[in-house]
């Protein structure tokens, strides 16, 4: 394993740029969800297929991505992933022209495919670029870059896509079918310029990273076994890996709910889209501050596992607070989940990859597949909101009140997610074999 050097610092800066792209592209989903819901006239659950299309690609493409990276290496893998992301951005233009939801979802899926390739390369690369004990620290640095870019993406695309959305919602209920189509077409066309610029920027960065001075690194081999024991020969012999995969699955689902639902949640509570578009930034800035604490504290003052324990406990506490509060206070507790979420990803990766040696690339692919939690758990939240809303309306509660109550109450789905994370932090990461801890 290569110790951090001046060359590695340059590499860390370059990979931080890549994580900035991940954050920018991922967190614009918080603006895309209410945008798509309006222009395609979707239900709450249907609108969360935006997250599904983005994250399901990690299930389908993670193992192929691992195969590709084994063939072409980390750097070329990242470059190829960026090119695929650029193609996905371009597809938004004909999708907007047709105003067809499945075409938008296809574009998001293609971008997710490219991101899968990039993430499968970038995450283990940054972990093995230095000592495993400080892996969470380097990942926290990546997180700062990721979430600052994510906040910018949410603000920029919130301003571009959600500007005037409240007026459009009022008008489409008052005009003819033809006029409604024209209004929605005009709104859909607002994606042209930002996604064209995004496509160009992604392609340029792909060319730059292909030429970047990134050192070649490989994970350290697993520790030698005791005399008389058989060395591990396959990925199924590492129980802590599979618990780590489950942990990352529920974590990504929880993080996506916290970031992608907060704008829609604010709107359901009666806030205007103009005000609510800033709410995702609250979540992301909470994450950035916590990442900065992680960089300072890990591993000098606290261990990676301790940071994970505290994060999970806070996640449970904040989730309960969302359920028992109302209005802007409840929104603030959703944003506070950024504090509990920030250090989970940075801690889970090194705790899971520790000691995997030659299985690191495959394990990385499995962890990337776990990002599919963002495809499954947020739509579950959306379905809970829809069913709760309909049930409340049928009992005589007004639609506005029912929407707010259902949206708040459905956040209970986060509690079991954080409970699983807490288990991995306390015990799960210690299970290195099936016969002993």
Q: Where are the beta strands (DSSP E) in 324-387?
A: none
What is the tens place of the pLDDT at every residue in 315-326?
999 999 999 998
Whether cis (ω within 30° of 0) applies to the bond prior to 299 is: yes
Task: Kindly state the tokens that stand for 20.
Answer: 């900035």
Q: Tens digits of per-residue pLDDT, 197-209?
A: 999 999 999 998 8
- Give the whole-angstrom CA distance, residue 420 versus residue 247: 6
Average pLDDT, integer, range 345-370? 84
Least confident of 130-134, 280-284, 318-322: 130-134
Q: What is the pLDDT of residue 3?
A: 43
> Which residues does 223 contact at the CB level (< 8 Å), separation at least 6?
355
Which residues are CB-neighbours of 20 under 8 A, at least 6 positions away?
145, 146, 148, 149
Residue-wise pLDDT tens digits, 382-414: 889 989 988 998 888 888 898 889 989 999 999
- What contacts 210, CB < 8 A, 6 or more positions away? 75, 76, 79
pLDDT score for 6: 60
The average pLDDT across 291-319 equals 90
At the topology level, CATH places domain 6-211+236-430 in Growth Hormone; Chain: A; (1.20.1250)
User: Can you say how many angstroms the Cα of residue 203 is from the centroid of all Cα atoms in its chain?
Assistant: 22
DSSP one-letter code for 270: T
Query: Are the C-beta atoms of 341 and 258 separated by less than 8 Å?
Result: yes
293, two tokens: 């604490």
151 confidence band (pLDDT: 50, 70, 90): confident
Segments making up each domain of the chain, as ranges: 6-211+236-430
- What is the reported pLDDT for 4? 47
Does pLDDT of 372 surpass 50?
yes
Percent of all residues in the chain with a pLDDT value above 90, rounded to a whole number: 28
Write out the two tokens for 206. Answer: 């792909």
Please name the residue that has the structure tokens 């007004």. 398
């Amino acid at each position: 394993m290569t110790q951090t050097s001046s060359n590695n610092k340059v590499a860390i800066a370059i990979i931080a740029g890549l994580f900035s792209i991940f954050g920018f592209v991922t967190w614009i989903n918080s603006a895309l969800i209410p945008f798509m819901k309006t222009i395609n006239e979707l239900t709450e659950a249907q609108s969360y297929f935006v997250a599904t299309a983005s994250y399901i690609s990690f299930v389908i493409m993670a193992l192929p991505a691992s195969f590709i990276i084994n063939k072409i290496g980390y750097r070329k893998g990242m470059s190829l992933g960026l090119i695929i992301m650029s193609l996905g951005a371009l597809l938004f233009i004909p999708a907007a022209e047709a105003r067809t939801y499945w075409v938008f979802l296809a574009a998001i899926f293609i971008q997710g495919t490219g991101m899968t390739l990039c993430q499968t390369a970038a995450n283990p690369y940054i972990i093995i670029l230095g000592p495993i004990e400080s892996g969470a620290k380097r990942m926290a640095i990546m997180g700062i870059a990721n979430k600052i870019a994510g906040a910018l993406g949410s603000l920029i695309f919130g301003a571009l896509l959600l500007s005037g959305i409240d007026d459009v919602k009022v008008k489409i209920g008052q005009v003819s079918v033809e006029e409604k189509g024209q209004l929605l077409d005009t709104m859909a066309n607002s994606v042209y310029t930002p996604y064209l610029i995004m496509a160009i920027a992604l392609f340029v960065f792909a060319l730059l990273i292909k030429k970047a001075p990134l050192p070649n690194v490989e994970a350290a081999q697993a520790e030698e076994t005791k005399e008389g024991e058989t060395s591990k020969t396959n990925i199924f012999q590492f129980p802590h890996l599979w618990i780590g995969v489950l942990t990352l699955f529920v974590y990504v689902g929880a993080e996506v709910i916290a970031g992608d639902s907060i704008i829609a949640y604010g709107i359901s509570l009666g806030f205007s889209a103009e005000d609510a578009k800033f709410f995702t930034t609250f979540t992301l800035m909470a994450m950035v501050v916590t990442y900065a604490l992680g960089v300072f504290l890990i591993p000098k003052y606290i261990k990676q596992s301790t940071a994970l324990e505290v994060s999970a406990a806070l996640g449970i506490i904040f989730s309960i607070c969302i359920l028992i509060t109302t209005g802007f206070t409840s929104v603030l507790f959703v944003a506070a989940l950024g504090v509990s979420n920030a250090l989970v990803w940075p801690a889970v990766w090194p705790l899971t990859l520790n000691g995997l040696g030659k299985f690191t690339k495959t394990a990385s692919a499995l962890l990337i597949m776990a990002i599919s939690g963002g495809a499954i758990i947020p739509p579950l939240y959306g379905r809970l909101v829809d069913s709760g809303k309909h049930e409340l309306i049928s009992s005589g509660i007004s639609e506005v009140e029912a929407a707010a109550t259902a949206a708040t109450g459905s956040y209970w789905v986060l509690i079991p997610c954080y409970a699983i994370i807490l288990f991995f932090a306390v015990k799960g990461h210690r299970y290195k074999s099936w016969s002993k801890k």
